[in-house]
Amino acid sequence: MNDLSQYLSTEFEKTQERIAQVNGLLREVARMFRESRQAKRADWPYSWDPTDLTDERHFPPDKAGKQEISLSTQAMCCVAICSLFEADDDYSLLSTKKEDLRLELEEFLKSTVAAVLERLKTPTWQSSTYGQDDVFTASWLLLLYEKLRKGPVPNLKWPAGFKKRVVKIIAHASTFYFLVRQVAAKRKGSTRS
């Protein structure tokens, strides 16, 4: 490509086609988020099979038998929805003459965030996969907090101590990881002697 006219006559059209293709794929992702929600629930399923929407399969109880929302699943889904909104701000891909995916997803996001904030009022959380106050969930919650702080659900009241607790969990996990790496390096060094 030697000049602008050459780019405009060759690559520009291909780039526009790729952008349109990516926008179409993002619309399909948004539709999947819409279709996977059940009207009677305020959360997305832990897993989703459009041919089987039973609560037992997609909203499994935790180890104590409680049917609580999966904080990490909800945080991941909400972060993805926020990212779709960011793409929509740039490319207007969620609203068409046939459907307004953004409006529907905004309502789902609000109800899910409300459920997450209600669940976070409990001093600790228990992940059926990762245990109590796990770093995986804490990391997703922190990312959700950051996305929402400047985004689509204004004026949220996060539970007192939320940020401090999440940062403490992540710092503890990072320190543990660092110590394990140090011990492993020392062991590796002592076997070479």
SS3 126: strand
Beta bridge partners of 49: 52
Domain with 63, as residue range(s), is 4-162
What is the average pLDDT across 130-153? 89
User: CA angle, corner 56, sides to 53 and 62, nearest 5?
Assistant: 135
Structure tokens at 56: 């037992």
Give the pLDDT score at 191. 58
What is the average pLDDT across 63-73? 75
Q: Is the pLDDT of residue 61 over 70?
A: no
Q: In the chain, how many domains are there? A: 1
Radius of gyration of the chain (CA): 22
Give the pLDDT score at 24. 93
Task: Say how many C-beta atoms besides its own lie within 10 A of residue 91's C-beta.
Answer: 13
How does DSSP classify residue 124? S
Backbone angles phi, psi at 132, to 5 degrees: -80, 135
Q: Is the pLDDT of residue 29 over 80?
A: yes
pLDDT band at 114 (very low <50, low <70, confident <90, very high): very high
71: exposed, middle or buried (Cβ count in 10 Å: 0-12, 13-18, 19+) = buried
> What single-letter amino acid sits at 93?
L
Q: Average pLDDT, whole number, for the chain? A: 84
pLDDT tens column, 145-187? 999 987 888 778 899 888 899 999 999 888 877 788 888 888 8
Backbone angles phi, psi at 191, to 5 degrees: -80, -20
> What single-letter amino acid sits at 13?
E
Does some domain include residue 190? no
CA–CA distance, 132 with 152 (Å, rounded to integer): 29
Cα 37 to its chain centre, rounded Å, is 15
pLDDT band at 81 (very low <50, low <70, confident <90, very high): very high
Give the pLDDT score at 144. 95
Does some domain include residue 182? no
Give the pLDDT score at 160. 86
Backbone angles phi, psi at 126, to 5 degrees: -125, 115
Give the pLDDT score at 53. 56
Does some domain include residue 99? yes
Does some domain include residue 42? yes
Does some domain include residue 50? yes
Does some domain include residue 123? yes
CA–CA distance, 167 with 161 (Å, rounded to integer): 10
Does some domain include residue 144? yes
Give the pLDDT score at 192. 56
Give the pLDDT score at 6. 83
pLDDT band at 143 (very low <50, low <70, confident <90, very high): very high
Does some domain include residue 18? yes
Q: Is the pLDDT of residue 80 over 90?
A: yes
87: exposed, middle or buried (Cβ count in 10 Å: 0-12, 13-18, 19+) = middle
